[in-house]
Structure 1
Amino acid sequence: MIDARTGRRLTTGHPEAAGRYQLAVDRILGSETGAAEALDQALALDSNLALALVARHMLAKDSGAADADFFKERALLAARAALPWERAHVSALLGLLEDPYTNLAATEAYIAANPSDLLVISQLCGYLIFYGGARKLERVLHIMESVDPSLRDDWAWLARVGFAASEAGDHNRGRALVERALQRRPQALYVIHSYAHVLHDQGEPGESLELLGKWLNEHRPSAEGSVMYGHVQWHLALAEWQLGLTEQAWQRYERYCAPETTRCGPVLALADCGGFLFREYLRTGTTRPISAAVSALPNRFNSMLSHPFVALHLAGIHASAGNISALEQSKAAIAAKEASDQTRLSLRLVDAVSQYAKGQYAEAADTLKLISADQRVGVGGSRVERILIDLLETRAVELAA
């Protein structure tokens, strides 16, 4: 059997197992439901399909499942009897999952030699979006554009390169690419999620409201089991909020996106919660009590406070609740960590949010002026986070006047 994207032979005597594996990869790349089930079906037919085993390990690790190491051990064992390219794929994916920073150079070397392995490419770019620093926009776009020409009409590649192009500033090109992806794979949550980002980048909440509303109505039965489902709903809630449909946005947020109800993983849950609560606080200036599930988020992420993405969203949650003491505690915890560009940026972000929450608007504006455009890219996440920082700065300047 030949792998559809790489064009290389898979080590299996079971064509149906190979088919189930490739279905699973499509579902992984589309953030769709049923990927784990398809992999389990493939492994029931061929328990030694190394690529299926390492993909199953990836899903188990992402979900925190207890059997993640079991699949890893089986993948390593099966790789011994696999083809060289399969062994290289297993090694690259495991290295990226276990220690992406240490294995960054090795992963990029693997991609250069295997430019059609979109599963590894997408995992690497997902890591760089959060940890790639000030040059990540160009870096991710370069990686995506260096893929094998055979992928240039692949929906999963189109969605990713379109997202990357928009993030790097070419919104029109990004939109055209993502629209092509949606035509080819209309059910994919990753594709509609990319489209939502492009529309946000273009400042088109009205279009986003219409597009996401129609998409969710059509694809809800197949989409609502996905871990990305709550985040797509969050994008719709954000569009509603931007258009002044505040009560409708809050209802959607609480039903699908809040920590109590979302299916998203912890990082997206934090971003959706912190981003929504902080935006509402910046607009209204009114604090509100937070739920037990929201209160639990800081404990879950305190060890990651030195990462600016985490620091920003936790600070937003504390500010929205009027919890000045928690903001001061966060500043002290970051200051106690080893000094680095990252910790200094985290401290500056929390400091600005704390100053704003205390009514020190001019001081907050001055603090934010010190954060350069490159540093804002290095916060991590997408342009959604950079716009959130801009909103904070704009509001601080307005209130300081």
Structure 2
Amino acid sequence: MARLDRRGLPLSTTSDLAAGRYRDGVDLLLSAWPGAAEVLEEAIAADPDFALAHAARARLHAIRAEPAEARARIAAAAEIAARHGTERERSHVEVLSLAINGRPARALERALAHADAWPRDVLVLSLPLGAFGLFAFSGMADHDQARVDLCERHARHFGADDWWFLTYRGWSHAENGAVEHGRALALRGFELRRENANAAHALAHAMYEAGAGEDAEGLIAGWLPGYDRAGPLHGHIAWHAALAALERGDAERALAVYAEHVQPSVSAGMPVNVVSDTASFLWRLRAYGHDVPEGLWQAAAAYAARAFPDAGFAFADAHMAILEAAVGDRDAVGRRAAALTALVEAGALAAGPVVPAICRAALAFAEEDHAGCARILEPVAADVARIGGSGAQREMLEDMLLLALMRGGEAAKARALLDRRLHRRPSPRDAAWRGLLAA
């Protein structure tokens, strides 16, 4: 009897135990839930020649920023799949191998082709999706639309009760502007599997885009205590609660959430989340008129310097520059911007010139050269989406431009930007800033 994965695709293993552990491990991986590593290791122990179990373990290593381990695991998977894998399994391993070995453009191309042939192979279909997926980090300005298009192209292959597909279809629509539709889809995915950090995360994003910060705080307060601190999204989902509290003016509550869940000393999240969450929260705290407690900038910058010492990862670079500028390390920002400019000139940075421009703008803003910040950031504002991430994460850069315009004497341009934002996402903060402009 053929062993099948959770969505009915055949598995090349002779072990019922290995197949069962693989199904459970992939569920845990796709829901960002603790225990995936241990369960996948049990699948490998039950059948050491099970290529897809090695491949899933490689993917988990990559998610956890363990590149050497990921490369070793995917090499093992490729060797096994070449010997006795099916065509689907060989293609599955190839796509993961391209992503893990630093060939994202080719990985995206092959992932889309693989999804056309085997749309229910969700570990591969997941690669282009999400805020940190292959689409987001492709350098495309329209990656939000690309994710929606991908989900809709394959929606017919998934029923109304596939918790994973509902989660990512909903997140994609909410990020692309169909907020209520996306929220409803993500909520259905969450209801089907509450032990799913990606669904809680998708809902938090949909609520943010709807301007429903108190709904997000309520959701997270009720759900987060059941999600172990070892979960990769624990700190990031708490960041959403801190952001919501900050938006409604409760800096004390926001700082308490940050201290308990988000700051580097307490978070077990992926480095890219820890760096972006700390940088963007502290920047917003100060930009919204609150004091940043002593030592928080320095702790975040010290962690970031270890996590991303070299330039070339656009999303991280934008946040690195904010941290470096905040602690007064002008030379570090200059080196990062210069290195990024060289990569742009060599055609080696997919996100393009917007990235070094963000670095220079962050330094100008930190040094209160608001007119200079606006001059740098305004011409590239339409390309900020090219760095990847989510709307909630990138909105900080729009806030930077808005404040630079306000403080640099460009009130008319600031009002126009606020008018455009009003049609996209309601925010109590924008109302306060409109009041300042009117005064």
Do both proteins adopt the same fold according to a TM-score greater than 0.5, normalized to the shorter chain?
yes
Residue 321 of structure 1, CA deviation: 2.8
Question: 1:324·1:358 contact (CA, 8 Å) conserved in 2?
Answer: no
Which range moves more in the overlay, 115-124 or 341-350? Answer: 341-350
Change (3 A) 1:147 1:322: same
Partner of 2:188: 180
Partner of 1:262: 267
Residue 185 of structure 1, CA deviation: 0.6
Question: 2:318·2:358 contact (CA, 8 Å) conserved in 1?
Answer: yes
Question: 1:196·1:235 contact (CA, 8 Å) conserved in 2?
Answer: yes
Aligned pairs for 1:192-341 within 5 A: 192-217=200-225, 219-220=226-227, 223-284=228-289, 289=295, 290-292=297-299, 294-298=301-305, 300-304=307-311, 306-339=312-345
Aligned mates of 1:14, 1:44 — CA distance in 2: 10
Tell me whether 1:134 sits opposite 2:141 in the alignment. yes
Which range moves more in the overlay, 72-81 or 58-67? Answer: 58-67
Partner of 1:93: 96
Aligned mates of 1:129, 1:291 — CA distance in 2: 29
What do residues 278-321 of structure 1 show as CA deviations (whole Å, max 9, x unaligned)? 111212275654334532413542423x4442232112213333
Instruction: State the one-letter code of the partner of 2:308.
Output: F
Tell me whether 1:353 sits opposite 2:355 in the alignment. no
Question: 1:163·1:198 contact (CA, 8 Å) conserved in 2?
Answer: yes
Change (3 A) 1:184 1:254: same
Partner of 1:78: 80
SS in structure 1 opposite 2:106?
A: coil
Aligned mates of 1:39, 1:117 — CA distance in 2: 17
Mark the runs of 5 or more structure 1 residues left unpaired by the alignment.
none
Aligned mates of 1:387, 1:210 — CA distance in 2: 22
Question: 1:60·1:68 contact (CA, 8 Å) conserved in 2?
Answer: yes
Instruction: State the one-letter code of the partner of 1:212.
Output: I
Partner of 1:106: 110
SS in structure 2 opposite 1:123?
A: coil
Change (3 A) 1:5 1:151: farther
Which range moves more in the overlay, 323-332 or 356-365? Answer: 323-332
What do residues 125-149 of structure 1 show as CA deviations (whole Å, max 9, x unaligned)? 2121222411211111111222262
Aligned mates of 1:36, 1:214 — CA distance in 2: 26
Which range moves more in the overlay, 147-156 or 205-214? Answer: 147-156
Per the normalisation by structure 2, the TM-score is 0.84
Question: 1:307·1:342 contact (CA, 8 Å) conserved in 2?
Answer: no
Change (3 A) 1:323 1:78: closer
Instruction: State the one-letter code of the partner of 2:100.
Output: L
Aligned mates of 2:117, 2:331 — CA distance in 1: 52
Aligned pairs for 1:356-367 within 5 A: 356-367=365-376
Residue 202 of structure 1, CA deviation: 1.3
Instruction: State the one-letter code of the partner of 2:104.
Output: P
Per the normalisation by structure 1, the TM-score is 0.91
Change (3 A) 1:330 1:56: closer
Residue 388 of structure 1, CA deviation: 0.8
Partner of 1:16: 17
Aligned mates of 2:85, 2:8 — CA distance in 1: 16
Equivalences, count: 396
SS in structure 2 opposite 1:146?
A: helix
Partner of 2:426: none
Aligned mates of 2:238, 2:173 — CA distance in 1: 23
Instruction: State the one-letter code of the partner of 2:219.
Output: L
Residue 115 of structure 1, CA deviation: 0.9
SS in structure 2 opposite 1:264?
A: coil
Partner of 2:26: 25
Change (3 A) 1:75 1:327: closer
What do residues 21-40 of structure 1 show as CA deviations (whole Å, max 9, x unaligned)? 11111111100111111111
Question: 1:24·1:39 contact (CA, 8 Å) conserved in 2?
Answer: yes
Instruction: State the one-letter code of the partner of 2:77.
Output: A
Change (3 A) 1:303 1:152: farther
Aligned mates of 2:344, 2:386 — CA distance in 1: 18
Residue 345 of structure 1, CA deviation: 0.9
Which range moves more in the overlay, 105-114 or 319-328? Answer: 319-328
Aligned mates of 1:35, 1:320 — CA distance in 2: 37
Instruction: State the one-letter code of the partner of 2:25.
Output: A
Aligned mates of 2:361, 2:286 — CA distance in 1: 15
Partner of 1:370: 379
Instruction: State the one-letter code of the partner of 1:133.
Output: M
Aligned mates of 2:397, 2:212 — CA distance in 1: 19
Change (3 A) 1:75 1:334: closer
Change (3 A) 1:321 1:387: same
Aligned mates of 1:366, 1:293 — CA distance in 2: 28
What do residues 237-277 of structure 1 show as CA deviations (whole Å, max 9, x unaligned)? 11122222212221221222112221111111111111111
Instruction: State the one-letter code of the partner of 1:248.
Output: R
SS in structure 2 opposite 1:187?
A: coil
Aligned mates of 1:170, 1:75 — CA distance in 2: 39
